[in-house]
A and B are shown apart, each in its own frame.
Chain A
Amino acid sequence: MIVLKIAFRNIFRQKRRTVFTILSMFGGFVLAALFIGMADGTYNQIINKFTRNQMGHIQIHEKTFLDRPSLYKTINNFKKIDKELQNIDEIDSLCPRLYSAGLASVKEKSTGVRIIGIDSKRENETTQFNNKIIKGRGFSDIDSHEVIIGKTLAKILKAGLNDEVVIVSQGADGSIANDLYKVIGILETGDDITDRISFYLNLKDAQELLVLEGKVHEIAITIKKLSNVYKVNNIVEEKINNPQLSVEPWQVFAKSFYLAMKADKEGMWIMLLIIVLVVAVGVLNTVLMAVLERQREYGVLKAIGTKPFQIFKQVVLEVNILAIFCMIFGIGVAFFINSFFSTHAIATFKDIAYGGMKFNSMYAEINARSFYIPAITVFLAANLVSIFPALKAAKTEPAKSMRIH
């Protein structure tokens, strides 16, 4: 108790030095909290854009489709699966898709495209499909033989709204599939490749063209809470219970994107290391100065019977009391800043491209780890660097320190 009392009162002895130590720790804490909040916010924004707006959080395919896509690897009982999945509360929405490759031509211009058959209403519910249309409109319920193409594809084909496009592909029955469609919309996804090859048809039109009536290649599912993706994936897998189908979360079907995100997130530790160094230098400098100044005092304490460990404890306690103050104020300030930036985006100087998507704003996120990681980091750094001065204080030789100081 007396050790704690001395440690606490020592804090107020050299106010300027205490302020400097507090600023090192407080600054380190707030910077780290802000950095993690911002990084998590931005990454989750990217993940959300990537999954919710394009891929979905979970996908169902014929079990070998992802490794070797083929026209014939279809899901044949979509209606039954759809019905089964309607009862899962965690699912937000789902939509079927059909894929194939083809050659699209407008007048003399031709290029290879990716035919994507979608259920326009459900696709819109799942990935906000209509929001990506920058010219024209979405698929109508009545009209058929309509096509929506990517922005870059439109440029390549020199196609505009109401132009007719001829598509040639292969039917599942071995026939040559070809038909004529009217361009009713041009879309921009933010993903350059997608915009260059996307050729969206109504699901029924696509099934008819490819002779795959009632069949789909993919079911994309979005869920209510991204962090539950593995849990919901398991539920879906159990519900379908079909060994011919694979149910996979975005981390698996978009593995390269996931790994790139993960690698980028690792960069956070480098930033934390820099913060640790800033805190460490600040704390070491001030604590060491204090210890050197108080050599005589430690000598007296030892002379009158204080054990070395009690002196060690006194120095470490002093640093920890300061660290606790910093944490309390730091949490308040970091919470305020992160809250502000979670609703007010920071605009980037120019568009940032990631995973084929473009971003021009960054949001922060408030989560537990943006507080506990800085707290652990600052505490560890402060305690680690206080060990040396504390040992020095504990090892003070009373006779020598009282003779010199």
Chain B
Amino acid sequence: MEYNENNLIITKDLKKTYKDNGVYVNAINGIDITINSGEFTAIVGPSGSGKTTFFNLISGLDSLTYGKVWLNSKLISDMSGKELSDFRRDNIGFVFQAYNLIPVLTVEENIEYIMLLQGVGKKERHKKVLNILREVGLEGMRNRVPTKLSGGQQQRVAIARAMVSEPSLILADEPTANLDSKTGTELLNMMRRLNETTGMTFLFSTHDKMIMEKARRVITLKDGLIEKDEIKA
């Protein structure tokens, strides 16, 4: 396997078959793809095309049926559950459609959660939380609980949580689907800016045309296969 130091994700003949009500469903049918560090890429396709399954496989959230996945030069498809857990904590930030913040924790606690798992000291955590809150425009809201925030604000917290430990990959699954178009645009612009300033790789799973427009690369999936891989100039 040839591995370029610029390569962040490599998949080789990736396949996933589900058993759904006794029927086998081929969600991913053999995907070979390379995603480089610093990309701002959208994975698009109709419902059932395999976008979310692809996300789950490259992040180790789901086991694959066949093939291999390398992330940050590590073969994650062979990792144990515990190794995957640590690997995800240190290398991947997640942004979900439904925000998925921990409802009993404040904004600050939600953001520092991963750093706590990593064993980062209190001073450093505090400094990083304040910086990221400034970046996402939520300086005055660190002591609020998620239920006291709007959808857009919650998604900003989710982005801050995903980015604060500086992972190499941010996986954003339909991040703007629950937001109005104005808030969605603001968030997208913010992520684009963060991508440019931090060099973190952003990978979106989306139906949102706006994300497709902003993305520098758009990969279209259909029936678990890559239909089109378009890199914009």
B100 and A2: CB pair below 8 A? no
Measured between beta carbons, the chain B residues less than 8 angstroms from A402 are 96, 100
Q: Which of B56, B104, B113 contacts A304 (CB 8 A)?
A: B113
A303 and B61: CB pair below 8 A? yes
> Which residues of chain B in 70-100 are interfacial with respect to chain A, using CB atoms and an 8 Å cutoff?
81-82, 85-86, 88-90, 94, 96, 100
B89 and A2: CB pair below 8 A? no
Given contacts A2-B113, A305-B86, is CB(A399)–CB(B104) below 8 Å? no
Count contacts on B: residues with CB < 8 A to the other chain. 26
B88 and A304: CB pair below 8 A? yes
Given contacts A6-B105, A10-B104, is CB(A306)–CB(B85) below 8 Å? yes
Given contacts A2-B116, A308-B81, is CB(A301)–CB(B102) below 8 Å? yes
B116 and A300: CB pair below 8 A? no
A305 and B89: CB pair below 8 A? yes
Q: What's the Cα separation between A12 and B114 when bound, in Å?
A: 23
Do most interface residues of chain B lie in helix, strand or loop, or is the interface mixed? helix
Q: Which of B82, B85, B100 contacts A300 (CB 8 A)?
A: B100
Q: Which residue of chain A lies nearest to B100 when distances are taken between CB atoms in the complex? A: A300
> Which residues of chain A in 377-405 are interfacial with respect to chain B, using CB atoms and an 8 Å cutoff?
397-400, 402-403
Q: How far is the CB of A308 from chain B (nearest CB, A)?
A: 7
* B103 at interface by CB-CB < 8 Å: yes
A305 and B85: CB pair below 8 A? yes
Q: Which residues of A contact B (CB under 8 A)?
A: 1-2, 5-6, 9-10, 12-13, 296-297, 300-308, 310, 397-400, 402-403
Do most interface residues of chain A lie in helix, strand or loop, or is the interface mixed? helix
A305 and B52: CB pair below 8 A? no
B100 and A305: CB pair below 8 A? no
Count contacts between A and B, CB distance < 8 Å: 65
* B117 at interface by CB-CB < 8 Å: yes
Q: What's the Cα separation between A47 and B117 when bound, in Å?
A: 59
Given contacts A300-B96, A303-B61, A304-B94, is CB(A1)–CB(B116) below 8 Å? yes
Q: Which residue of chain A lies nearest to B104 when distances are taken between CB atoms in the complex? A: A9
Q: What's the Cα separation between A304 and B86 when bound, in Å?
A: 9
Measured between beta carbons, the chain B residues less than 8 angstroms from A398 are 56, 61
7 examples of A-B residue contacts, CB within 8 angstroms:
A5-B109, A10-B104, A297-B102, A302-B85, A304-B89, A305-B85, A307-B85
Q: What's the Cα separation between A386 and B109 when bound, in Å?
A: 26
Q: Which of B56, B105, B114 contacts A9 (CB 8 A)?
A: B105
* B196 at interface by CB-CB < 8 Å: no
* B62 at interface by CB-CB < 8 Å: yes
A6 and B102: CB pair below 8 A? yes
Q: How far is the CB of A327 from chain B (nearest CB, A)?
A: 24
Q: How far is the CB of B57 from chain A (nearest CB, A)?
A: 9
Q: Which residue of chain A lies nearest to B57 when distances are taken between CB atoms in the complex? A: A399
Q: Which of A296, A297, A305 contacts B117 (CB 8 A)?
A: A305
